[in-house]
Every structure is written in structure tokens, then in C-alpha cells.
Amino acid sequence: MGKTLRTRATPGLAGSLLGGMALFVAFPHAHAAAPATNVENGRYLARAADCEVCHTAEGGTPYAGGRAFSLPGVGVMYAPNITPDKTAGIGAWTDQQFVDAVRKGVSPGWKHLYPAMPYPAYARMSVAQVRDIRAYLATLAPSPQKTPENALRFPFSVRGLMVFWNLLNGPAATYADDPGKPAEWNRGRYLVEGPGHCGDCHTPRTATFGLDNSHALGGNVVNGWRAYNLTSDRQSGLGAWSDEDLARYLATGHADGHGTAAGDMADVVGHSLRYLSVQDIHAMVVYLRGLPPYRTAADMVEHTTPPAGDAALPQTTRGARLYAATCAGCHMPDGAGRQSSFGTITGARSLGADNGRNLVRILVQGSGMQTTTGVQVMPHFVGGGLSARDLADIASFVMTHFTTATPQDMEQRVRNAQQAAKP
Ligand code: HEC
Ligand code: HEC
Ligand code: HEC
């Protein structure tokens, strides 16, 4: 305790409080204080760890499981029901069994979990913190919903193989705070590497699909989307973002000049990050800032400044005409959103990075994000009267109008994304 107090009494404290207050003014909905009881702390951590998003089927009862995770070549896996139902859920488990499942990836009966459940990251949470999550889950209404059986191909169907995977890549453990760093940096590291499991998407993988932590948060492709480089490199990472913009993006899913979180990141913000306290968002910013710069070609993008006004839209190509007809109503010719700031896409990395990878995904799959002002929806354009070629032309136009990127094989990229989006 004494140690915590001492590390907190660093000169960083004043800055952190000021930063926190500025943010509190900027996002008045943000929570000001840390939760008081075990159940409240558990609820807070369950949100920081985004448990609900995976353990809920689309439109289903929260935490009653059934969301499908399909892995190409491996099969389909379902997140289980973790409500307190005694047979369908985890109501009959002891606290210790729950802690072992969440921190070690081992459910009762030596059922080894697959790392689609981010237990290697959750191992950073202490036993007490995971028990608090259990205390919160125990307050939910039990759901009798049965979890479908996984349909995995051999040899992936053999759970015992996870023993070897764990030996290679498996659970880390809680670690002590680094006394040489400010308390907020330590808190930020805990949130990012532990409950937040940001590396599950943003860190490249090794040959055995463990996290390549020599390039921690250096960017990776997940579910066909690019989870961008979060290191402090100025061109391919977050080095050129202001602290305020980064905090705003994490807390609200949007920062002017950097676009709006889409795809999986929209889920992360909508179900998890937007519930974090101002201080915790700030702590994450402090930690991300300190990541050593790592340059990645795929995340590079150079933006241009297109002129405003409908007359300024050069309707000389198919792509430009289609953009004017289909997109400009929401995004304007210069990318400044019309209805709300969430539609302001100016400066977004997706507009040009990785040969339009996320741009194409968002056109094919659409995106939606929960915000304090309701769900912000970007419609998908599959079956909306636009062909693969139309979408490719729109993507090419967006890339050359808003950035200096050179689009390549866009129609093939659209077809691949359409194929991947099929159920
Ligand atoms: C990225 C998606 C994801 C997130 C986030 C996630 N889980 Fe899971 N979880 C899964 C999947 C998938 C499984 C099943 C894995 C398997 O079949 O091996 C699972 C399994 C479990 C199990 C084992 C249940 C059983 O019947 O064996 C528990 C308990 C659990 N998760 C709790 C949690 C808690 C608590 C959190 C938040 C701290 C959480 N999960 C976050 C995907 C996720
Ligand atoms: C389930 C996968 C997933 C997880 C977990 C995840 N992200 Fe992301 N993240 C993405 C994707 C995909 C994008 C790109 C979104 C887009 O194109 O709009 C992204 C984008 C971002 C961006 C914008 C970067 C840029 O250059 O535009 C930031 C910042 C970010 N994530 C931070 C985080 C942090 C911090 C965490 C952990 C709390 C986290 N992410 C967890 C998938 C994820
Ligand atoms: C009905 C209004 C609407 C239309 C039409 C629309 N969008 Fe969007 N778009 C949005 C909103 C709202 C968001 C932010 C929500 C989200 O990403 O979850 C968004 C997000 C985006 C993003 C994500 C930017 C980022 O930061 O990652 C891109 C790129 C984009 N739109 C391009 C287009 C293109 C190209 C078209 C035309 C084919 C189009 N949009 C049509 C409303 C719209």
C-alpha cells in the first residue's frame, strides 16, 4: 500500500489530474469515480475485459453465450453461457474453477480452452479481481440457453493439444508494478495488456500463433481487418496523434482528423472502452505513448485535403460519380460528416492504408457502434444494387481523393471480402 502511494505521488499526478479533468469536461458522460463494492468492481472489470461482447449471440441474452467464432480451416467454436444457471451456465462452479478458466484457460474436468478466449491476457488480472468478476456475473439472471457444440476439424478438435500451446505461448501471470514508472503508466499497462487484451488483435503473431511481443501492438490482420499499429511511430503508428485525440478516440470511438472506429474496434469502444473512467482512459494513453516506435508499411497513409462543397467533387470517373450518389449524402465531398461527427472520416487511416483493406471491409460489411447518442450505423452495400466493380471503383476513388495511395486489384479485394462475409 505504502508503495502504491509513493509511486502515485509523482510529478505526473498533477498532469494526470488536469488531463483527467479536461477529459471529463470533454466527455461529460464519463464515469468520474472508481467502483466501490466487489460487485461494482466486477462489473467494471467485465466491461474493461469486454466479456459480454463475445459471450452474447447477436441479439441474444447478454452472457448467455452462443456467439460463433469461425476460424478458416479450423472450424466453428461457440462462446459458452456464463450466466449463473446451474446446468447451462457456470452457476455450479466454485470460485476457484472460475478463476482457473479465466486466468489459465482450464475449465472443470481439465477442459482446456482455446485461446479465442483471451486467458493469456486475463492472467494479468489478480485472483481477487477475477473473483470480483464472478461476483458480478452471479448477480445476472440465470439463462437456460444451451451452448452449441464446437465443430472443429481434427487435430484442432483435440483440446489436450492446448497443453503444448500453453507451454509455448501460454498464460503469463500478474506482474508487479514497475517502480521506476509513474502509477498511471503501470495502470495503463495493466489495462492494455490485461483486461483490455488489445494485443489479441493489434500484436502480430508468431509461427505458433502466440503473440510476437517483440513487436507488441505493432499491428496485425484479424478477421480480415487491419488492427492498426499502435506504437509511437509517427507515420505508421500513433506518434502524431495528440493525447487528447487518442483519449477521445478510445472513449467515444471518434476523433476529428482520425475517423471513427469501425468493425471489431467499434465493438471494443461500444461495449468496453466507453464505460471506462476518465483516469483509466488517460492511463492507457500514457502507456501507449511509451511504446517504442515500430514502422510498418501496411499502416502508412498520406492524407490529402479535398476541397469542400458539392461542386468541388470531380465527377469525372465512375468511382467519383458513385461516391457522389451513394456516400456524399452522409460523408460530404470532403469527408466531413453531415448528420453527426461520427460520419466525419477525414484523416482516417482506413481511407488509404493497407491497399484499402478496412475500407473495402466497411463497404461490404457495414459497421455499427453503440454510443451515448444511440447506434451510429454505416450501412453495408452488399446486395444494395452495387456490383463488386462498383464497390471497387468507389474504394479506388476514396483512396485517391482522400489520400495519395495507389489502389491495386480492388475488385479482387472486394470479392474476397464478400466471400468472407458469407455466413
Ligand atoms: C474474444 C472473445 C472472448 C472474450 C473477450 C471473452 N471470452 Fe470467455 N470464452 C470465449 C470462447 C470462444 C470460449 C470457449 C473456448 C473453448 O471452447 O475452448 C470461452 C470460454 C469461457 C469460459 C469457460 C466456460 C466453459 O463452459 O468452459 C469462461 C468461464 C469464460 N469464457 C469467461 C469469460 C470472462 C469472465 C470474460 C471476461 C473477463 C471472457 N470470458 C471474455 C470467448 C471470449
Ligand atoms: C477484436 C479486435 C480488437 C481489439 C481487442 C482491439 N482493437 Fe483496436 N482496432 C481494431 C481494428 C480492426 C481497428 C481498425 C478500425 C477501423 O478501421 O476503423 C482498430 C483501431 C484502433 C485504433 C485506431 C488506430 C488508427 O490508426 O486509426 C486505436 C487507437 C485502437 N484500435 C486502440 C485499441 C486499444 C487501446 C485496445 C485495447 C483496449 C484495442 N484497440 C483493442 C481491432 C481491435
Ligand atoms: C447513412 C449514412 C452513411 C452512408 C450512406 C455511408 N456512410 Fe460511411 N459511415 C457512416 C457512419 C455513421 C460511419 C461511422 C460509424 C462506424 O464506423 O461504425 C461511417 C464510417 C465510414 C468509414 C470508416 C472510417 C474509419 O475511420 O475507419 C468509411 C471509410 C466510410 N464510412 C466510407 C463510406 C463510403 C465510401 C460510402 C459510400 C459507398 C459510405 N461510407 C456511405 C455513415 C454513412
* Tens digits of residue pLDDT in 225-253: 999 999 999 999 999 999 999 999 999 99
Least confident of 58-62, 190-194, 281-285, 379-383: 379-383
pLDDT of residue 218: 97
Separation in Å, CA 261 to CA 269, 358, 371, 397, 423: 8, 11, 11, 21, 23
Ligand 1 lined by 150 (C-beta under 6 Å): yes
Which among 44, 55, 124, 127 is the best mutation to test ligand 1's pocket, defined by most ligand atoms within 8 Å of the CB?
A: 55
* 159 vs 266, more confident: 266
What is the 333 CA–ligand 2 centroid distance (Å)?
Answer: 26
C-beta atoms surrounding 339 within 10 Å: 9
**Are 346 and 336 spatial neighbours (Cβ–Cβ below 8 Å)?**
yes
State the first-to-last Cα distance of the chain, in angstroms, to the nearest integer: 52
Going by CA atoms, what residue is nearest to atom 33 of ligand 2? Answer: 198
Output the average pLDDT for the chain. 88
Answer yes or no: is pLDDT of 299 > 80. Answer: yes
Answer yes or no: is pLDDT of 312 > 80. Answer: no
Q: Which atom of ligand 1 is nearest to the CA of 90?
A: 26
Q: Stretch 144-160: mean pLDDT, rounded?
A: 89
- The number of the ligand nearest the C-alpha atom of 358 reads 2
What is the 79 CA–ligand 1 centroid distance (Å)?
Answer: 6
Q: What is the pLDDT of residues 90-117, one digit of tens each?
A: 999 999 999 999 999 999 999 999 989 9
Ligand 1 lined by 287 (C-beta under 6 Å): no
What is the 406 CA–ligand 3 centroid distance (Å)?
Answer: 21
What band does 34 get if pLDDT is binned at 50, 70 and 90? low
Answer yes or no: is pLDDT of 24 > 50. Answer: no
The Cα 365–Cα 416 span in angstroms is 12
C-beta atoms surrounding 362 within 10 Å: 24
pLDDT of residue 311: 67
What band does 173 get if pLDDT is binned at 50, 70 and 90? confident
Q: Stretch 251-269: mean pLDDT, rounded?
A: 96
**Are 64 and 143 spatial neighbours (Cβ–Cβ below 8 Å)?**
yes
Three cell numbers, residue 136? 458480478
Percentage of the chain beyond pLDDT 90 is: 69
Answer yes or no: is pLDDT of 334 > 60. Answer: yes
Answer yes or no: is pLDDT of 333 > 90. Answer: no
Ligand 1 lined by 198 (C-beta under 6 Å): no
**Are 155 and 161 spatial neighbours (Cβ–Cβ below 8 Å)?**
yes
What is the 318 CA–ligand 3 centroid distance (Å)?
Answer: 19
The Cα 370–Cα 34 span in angstroms is 23
Instruction: List all residues 6 or more positions away from 367 whose beta carbon is below 8 Å from its beta carbon.
Output: 262, 263, 266, 377, 378
Q: 64 burial class (0-12, 13-18, 19+ CB within 10 angstroms)?
A: buried
Ligand 3 lined by 378 (C-beta under 6 Å): yes
Answer yes or no: is pLDDT of 27 > 60. Answer: no
What is the 382 CA–ligand 3 centroid distance (Å)?
Answer: 14
**CA neighbours closer than 13 Å in the CB half-sphere of residue 32:** 6
Rounded to 5 degrees, φ, ψ at 207 are -60, -25
The Cα 210–Cα 191 span in angstroms is 20
The Cα 122–Cα 99 span in angstroms is 10
What is the 265 CA–ligand 2 centroid distance (Å)?
Answer: 5
pLDDT of residue 316: 82
Answer yes or no: is pLDDT of 287 > 80. Answer: yes
pLDDT of residue 275: 97
Ligand 3 lined by 331 (C-beta under 6 Å): yes
Going by CA atoms, what residue is nearest to atom 35 of ligand 3? Answer: 327
- The number of the ligand nearest the C-alpha atom of 160 reads 1
- The number of the ligand nearest the C-alpha atom of 264 reads 2
What is the 114 CA–ligand 1 centroid distance (Å)?
Answer: 9
Ligand 1 lined by 196 (C-beta under 6 Å): no
Ligand 1 lined by 102 (C-beta under 6 Å): yes
Q: Which atom of ligand 3 is nearest to the CA of 377?
A: 12
pLDDT of residue 310: 67
Three cell numbers, residue 109? 474436468
Ligand 1 lined by 227 (C-beta under 6 Å): no
Ligand 3 lined by 369 (C-beta under 6 Å): yes
What band does 335 get if pLDDT is binned at 50, 70 and 90? confident
Which among 187, 191, 201 is the best mutation to test ligand 2's pocket, defined by most ligand atoms within 8 Å of the CB?
A: 201
Answer yes or no: is pLDDT of 343 > 90. Answer: no
What is the 289 CA–ligand 1 centroid distance (Å)?
Answer: 30
Answer yes or no: is pLDDT of 3 > 70. Answer: no
Ligand 3 lined by 398 (C-beta under 6 Å): yes
Ligand 1 lined by 343 (C-beta under 6 Å): no
Percentage of the chain beyond pLDDT 70 is: 89
- The number of the ligand nearest the C-alpha atom of 378 reads 3
Separation in Å, CA 69 to CA 116, 179, 223: 8, 40, 10
Length of the chain: 423
pLDDT of residue 134: 97
Answer yes or no: is pLDDT of 1 > 70. Answer: no
Answer yes or no: is pLDDT of 395 > 60. Answer: yes
Q: Stretch 169-187: mean pLDDT, rounded?
A: 88
The Cα 144–Cα 149 span in angstroms is 15
Ligand 3 lined by 396 (C-beta under 6 Å): no
What band does 163 get if pLDDT is binned at 50, 70 and 90? confident
**CA neighbours closer than 13 Å in the CB half-sphere of residue 238:** 27
